[in-house]
Amino acid sequence: MNVSKRQAEKLVSGCINNDRKAQEALYKLFHADMLRVCYSYLPEKELAKEAFNMGFLKVFQSIQNFDIEKGELGGWIRKIMIYTSIDLCRKELKFNTLASLETDDESFFISPSVLEKLYFEDILLNIRTLPRATQTVFNLSVLDGFTHKEIGEQLGISEGTSRWHLAEAKRKLRELLEETGKNTDQPKERSDKAK
């Protein structure tokens, strides 16, 4: 969520001065978006909430380090939430060093006729069925744009292991999405019809 520079300055200044109203306003402003960020890395609600709370604690503890001239407040908070989620995920998971997997890009192709039958919720549900390590690498790479080097540094794995997890995620998602698309004879209707 983007906020104006003036609004960000006011919120940051208030939080630095331990103004409860400013802290509450900042929390409410970013609550939904940042909880979604945590939930994308930690699908268990309790773990996601724990990462979210720890993340906001870090935000309030380090708000004086935020430089309004160097970045956007929402992006800065998002990074803290991502790193906090990764830290918690790392505690919950053990990443195994896996051999690098050579893949053919064509093996990840999903027919457009399958994709047009699916909704975002279907895709998100399929992502959440991936093993946690594979899902985390997929989220970092595809959703948040991290490089394999950055992912490796964050998760304590090699770049090759990161590549393997991404390739595995793509392979499994292709299979799941094709199966979901085949089971959908016609596009689903998401809205309830009035009776």
> What would the pLDDT profile of 120-171 be if each residue is shown by its tens digit?
566 677 788 888 888 888 888 887 888 999 888 888 888 888 899 988 888 8
pLDDT at 190: 45
CB–CB of 81/64 below 8 Å? Answer: no
Per-residue pLDDT reduced to its tens digit, 156-167: 888 888 899 988
Length reported for the chain: 195
Helix, strand, or coil (residue 143): helix
How many whole angstroms separate alpha carbon 115 and alpha carbon 111? 7
Domain count, the chain: 2
Looking at the fold, whether 70 and 132 belong to one and the same domain comes out as no
Looking at the fold, whether 14 and 37 belong to one and the same domain comes out as yes
Tell me the average pLDDT across 4-10: 87
Looking at the fold, whether 122 and 83 belong to one and the same domain comes out as no
How many whole angstroms separate alpha carbon 140 and alpha carbon 152? 10
pLDDT at 59: 94
Looking at the fold, whether 110 and 177 belong to one and the same domain comes out as yes
Looking at the domain assignment, is residue 188 inside a domain? no
- The range of the structural domain enclosing residue 112 comes to 105-182
Mark 133-148 as b/e (b = at least 16 C-beta within 10 Å).
bbbbbbbbbeeeebeb
How many whole angstroms separate alpha carbon 163 and alpha carbon 70? 31
CB–CB of 23/14 below 8 Å? Answer: yes
How many whole angstroms separate alpha carbon 73 and alpha carbon 78? 9
The domain that contains 63 carries what CATH number?
1.10.1740.10
Residue 179 corresponds to which tokens in the numbers above?
Answer: 């199966």
